[in-house]
Structure 1
Amino acid sequence: MKLLRYGPLGQEKPGLLDGDGNIRDLSTRVPDLSGEVLSDAGLARLAALDVGTLPIVEGAPRIGACVAGVGKFMAIGLNFSDHAKETGMAEPKEPVLFTKHTSCLSGPNDDVVLPRGSIKADWEVELGVIIGTRAKYVTQAHALDHVAGFCVVNDVSERAFQLESTGQWVKGKSCDTFGPIGPWLVTRDEISDPQALDLWLDVNGERRQRGNTATMIFSVAHIVSYLSNFFTLYPGDVICTGTPPGVGMGMKPQQFLKPGDEMRLGVQGLGEQRQRVVADA
């Protein structure tokens, strides 16, 4: 299934994308795409619905973040071997972990707003993982059993905030609108192998990033298991798993986002995002 949330910011309703590309309203069946709805049992109930009986959502509504009730937005750095190479850094021996505050979450096609003082805003297409059932001390062999599905993430980053002052990466990773996720939560049964997905990103129509999750240093199963050894993962938690080469910081000369730019990005089988870059007021 391809699940989504649609409607004005803060008023999103749950929906389902049918085989003809129509949005079907789920708001009379579930309160939102969160909590128990994301469990195997909850998703099975949605899969058993007669899609043809669900109301079609007319027009072209805004698409919101594809999951609600996100408690944690975790991210893994330097997780593609070819991206680590372009940065000139050694491949990490264990996952490099940082957080993105949940206040940065936004819809897949919402504007990306550059904060005041931003001079090095960058793009990062990533595979997102959405937790469906509580995970604590899980093995790699069972880690994917705790995953509800996958989505596209743009891990927008302000490199000057992230790397050129004191403190943690979180400053450059958590600015408002720096976490577009979606358009869909694609349930894990539709993705036969999360380590065989193409990723790509364009800026102003020019291909900047291309890669495949086969070059991830740490697999999705490894990451979920690893994180669960330090803290409990709960339904709705989101993990972005690293980016392939082609980020602006790695270009020679370096290139960064400016107002008026447009990003378009996608992950195989998970849909596409498109964002316009604007300056904060």
Structure 2
Amino acid sequence: MRVLMHRARGAPRLGFLADPETIVDAADACAALGRGADRPLVADAIALAAAGDAGLALARELVASAPAETRLPLAGTPLCAPMRPSTILCTGSNYREHNAEKANTPLSAKEPEFFVKTADCVIGPEEAIVQDPRLTTKLDCETELAIVIGRPGRHIPVAAALDHVFGYTIVNDVTARDRQVRTSPEGVTWYELGRGKAFDTSAPLGPWIVTRDEIPDPQALALRTRINGEPRQAGSTASMIWSCAELIHFFSTSFTLRPGMVIITGTPAGTAWSADPELGGRWRPVPGCVKPTRYCLPGDVVESEIEGIGTLRNPVVAGAG
């Protein structure tokens, strides 16, 4: 099932993709089917995730039985981010190919890189990524698989970790490289993962959440990034150093994972950073992809695609100079 938020009658509303061309509006379908008392279960994607099997059973009933007046065409219906995560737990340096193309810290690939983004970073499909020159002149994009937590837990064993997943979506981990990468006079590299990673519009999310039952193996998905139609990244989640299950276990040692939390899982090779020797980039050919010649600029269009989920598309616009 594909769970989304669409804008109708001036407000974001939960919906489900009934087929490749049709959205079912959750609130309207509840009303039409006399299920008004169950409306809180489908108030938004976080409520649906927290409702567990009961929420998914209701969603499937709505999709199967909703009358025509509760259905909307996907084409022309504006989509919002499918959720506003309570917390976005992030790992970097999690693909071998990406580590080979960039400057690394002493801990790169030795343990999961841990940083956080907030709900304030999130935008949805077709919303604009802002390139603010007062923050960065080296704006980069990274297509990443995002895990949406559905069942709470702490110190979750790896073997049980995927049982805590509600679904998966796409995140573009937009990064200010000139804020991220630091090098000491002695040549030691470290990352500033506050200003480099967490800022307005730095977490495009969507276009929808695909529930766990439709992605039985999250370690077998192809990822691609296109900028202005040019292929920049191409990889597979099979190349993760730490799997989705291992990352859930890792983050659950620090936090009680709760419905609505999101874990993002790193990116493959092909970033603009790889072609920037000033910041330690070491570009290597990526089959089928074009070597970057610059970072993102206003007027660019970024498409992040993951097999089994879809494509997240966002333009880049200029911020206040």
Same fold, judged at TM 0.5 (above): yes
Query: 1:49 aligns to what?
Result: 62
Aligned-pair identity (%): 38
| Equivalent pair of 2:16/2:63 in contact (CA under 8 Å) | no
1:60 and 2:76 matched: yes
Rounded to whole Å, the distance in 2 between the matches of 1:102 and 1:233 is 16
| Equivalent pair of 1:40/1:148 in contact (CA under 8 Å) | no
CA-CA distance at 1:21 after TM superposition: 2.1
Query: 2:225 aligns to what?
Result: 201
Rounded to whole Å, the distance in 1 between the matches of 2:309 and 2:138 is 28
> What letter is aligned with 1:131?
I
Q: Mind listing any 5+ residue stretches in structure 1 that lack a counterpart? A: none
Rounded to whole Å, the distance in 1 between the matches of 2:12 and 2:234 is 32
| Equivalent pair of 2:182/2:191 in contact (CA under 8 Å) | no
Pairing partner for 1:177 from 176, 201, 204: 201
Q: Rg bigger for which structure? A: 2
Paired positions, count: 280
Rounded to whole Å, the distance in 2 between the matches of 1:21 and 1:199 is 23
CA-CA distance at 1:86 after TM superposition: 1.0
Query: 1:40 aligns to what?
Result: 53
Query: 1:15 aligns to what?
Result: 15
Query: 2:114 aligns to what?
Result: 97
Rounded to whole Å, the distance in 2 between the matches of 1:128 and 1:50 is 24
Query: 1:123 aligns to what?
Result: 141
Query: 1:256 aligns to what?
Result: 295
CA-CA distance at 1:49 after TM superposition: 3.2
Rounded to whole Å, the distance in 1 between the matches of 2:153 and 2:192 is 26
1:161 and 2:161 matched: no
| Equivalent pair of 2:146/2:264 in contact (CA under 8 Å) | yes
Rounded to whole Å, the distance in 2 between the matches of 1:141 and 1:48 is 31
Rounded to whole Å, the distance in 1 between the matches of 2:261 and 2:158 is 18
Provide, for residues 191-224 of structure 1, a one-character-per-residue CA deviation record: whole Å limited to 9, x for no partner.
Answer: 0210000000011111000000000000000000
Query: 1:144 aligns to what?
Result: 162
* TM norm structure 2: 0.82
1:230 and 2:254 matched: yes
| Equivalent pair of 1:4/1:185 in contact (CA under 8 Å) | yes
CA-CA distance at 1:47 after TM superposition: 2.3
CA-CA distance at 1:134 after TM superposition: 0.8
Q: Mind listing any 5+ residue stretches in structure 2 that lack a counterpart? A: 31-38, 184-189, 278-292
CA-CA distance at 1:108 after TM superposition: 2.2
1:211 and 2:235 matched: yes
> What letter is aligned with 2:45?
L
